Amino acid sequence: MEPLKILVIHDDLFENDPLLYTLRERFGRDNVILEKKSSQGLEYIYNNLSSKLIVLLDFDLGAGEPHAPEVFKRIREKTSLIYVIIYTAKQFTAIPNEALIDFINNEALGIIQSTADIPEVVGMVEKAAHQLDTRVDCILEQWIAKHSEKERAKPYLTTKSGTIYTLDDLIVEIRKETELGQQLEKSILQLAIELLTSQKRQLDD
């Protein structure tokens, strides 16, 4: 399976920063990427939409670069499956309310101060990693992404109203959390539970 990537978008961290060092120890040397410019960070995200990705995002990213609320919005335009953790030296009280509301509404996984202890930050990344591993939509998305391009472009599912979806279409539906995307997730969960319980019966027999 494709390894989890941690993307750190932060203009005040350096390549060998103890935080990055510790994250690399935990998640693998090549799996922790530092981008000091948020525009380049976004580019990385856009190029790796099907990867399992956790983003540690600074709030202020310097002149001319999109700041966290903007970066966040642009990530969510493309996918709801990337976990974002805000990691900043900015005091929480100095973060505008509307930015906080947007963070919550767009499901930021957490906000953590850059003066926090390293284990605390790593702990939050691990929590995100765990959730990525167990979320239905993530697993489904990864499963779809494993298919070849050709297979993904074939009709895969027809709804009652007659609309035809390819696997690629389904990815979009899931990422954008449309009604169909949500319905799909729900059905899969129900199926999984059914499978689990019927298996259990077999075990009991």
Partner 1 sequence: MSEKNLKWRFDVNTFRLIGRELITDRITAVYELVKNCYDANATKVIVEFIDVSPEALNEKSKIIISDDGHGMSYTDIRDKWMVVGTASKRSTLFSPPPFERRYVGEKGIGRFAVDKLGGHVVIETKEVDTNQKLVVNIDWNAYDELSKSPQLKLFTDVENSYAFVDAPKEEKGTKLIISSIEETWTDLDINRLEKELEKIVSPFHPLNPPFQIVINSNEYDAYKDKPVKAESIKYSSLEFKLEYNVEKEWQETLKWDKEKNKIIVDRVSIKPFGGINLRLFYFDEAAKKKFNRIYKNQDYRIDGIKIYRDGLITTPFAEFEGIRDKKRDVLGIDKRLWSGFLDKVGTREIIGILDITKENNPKIIDSTNRQDFVDNEAYRELKEFVIAQLKVLEEFKKNERKLLKQKVDQELVKANIEVKEFTEALKTLEKNNPNLKQTLKPLKEQAKVIDISIKKGIEQQEKERKEYIRKENIYVSLMSLQDYAIHVSHAVRTALGKVKRMAEFFKDRFPDPKLDSIFKEYSHMIYNEMVNLNKVIDFMLSYAGSNIDMEDFNVKNHLEDLFNKAYVPVFDAEDIKHIVEVQDNFVLHANKKFFEDIFENLISNSIKALRNEESKVIKCSGFIEDDHFVIYYSDNGEGIRKGDEEKIFEMYYTTTADLGGAGIGLYIVKTRVESLRGTISVVENEFKPRGATFKISFPFKK
Contacting residues toward partner 1, per CB under 8 A = 11-12, 14, 16-19, 21-22, 60, 62-64, 89-92, 97-98, 100-101, 104-105, 113-115, 117-118
Query: Residue 196 CB, nearest distance to partner 1 (Å)?
Result: 21
Would you say 115 or 197 has its CB closer to partner 1? 115
Would you say 28 or 62 has its CB closer to partner 1? 62
Query: Residue 155 CB, nearest distance to partner 1 (Å)?
Result: 30
Query: Residue 60 CB, nearest distance to partner 1 (Å)?
Result: 7
Query: Residue 63 CB, nearest distance to partner 1 (Å)?
Result: 5
Query: Residue 168 CB, nearest distance to partner 1 (Å)?
Result: 25
Query: Residue 150 CB, nearest distance to partner 1 (Å)?
Result: 36
Would you say 168 or 177 has its CB closer to partner 1? 177
Q: Please state the three-class secondary structure of the chain as a single string.
A: CCCCEEEEECCCCCCCCHHHHHHHHHHCHHHEEEECCHHHHHHHHHHCCCCCEEEEECCCCCCCCCCHHHHHHHHHHHCCCCEEEEEECCCHHHCCHHHHHHHHHCCCCEEEECCCCHHHHHHHHHHHHHHHHHCHHHHHHHHHHCCCHHHHHCEEEECCCCCEEEHHHHHHHHHCCCHHHHHHHHHHHHHHHHHHHHHHHHHHC
Query: What are the backbone dihedrals phi and psi of residue 108, each rounded to the nearest 5 degrees, phi first?
Result: -65, 140
Q: How far apart are CA 171 and CA 146, in angstroms?
A: 12
Would you say 60 or 126 has its CB closer to partner 1? 60
Would you say 16 or 202 has its CB closer to partner 1? 16
Would you say 23 or 144 has its CB closer to partner 1? 23
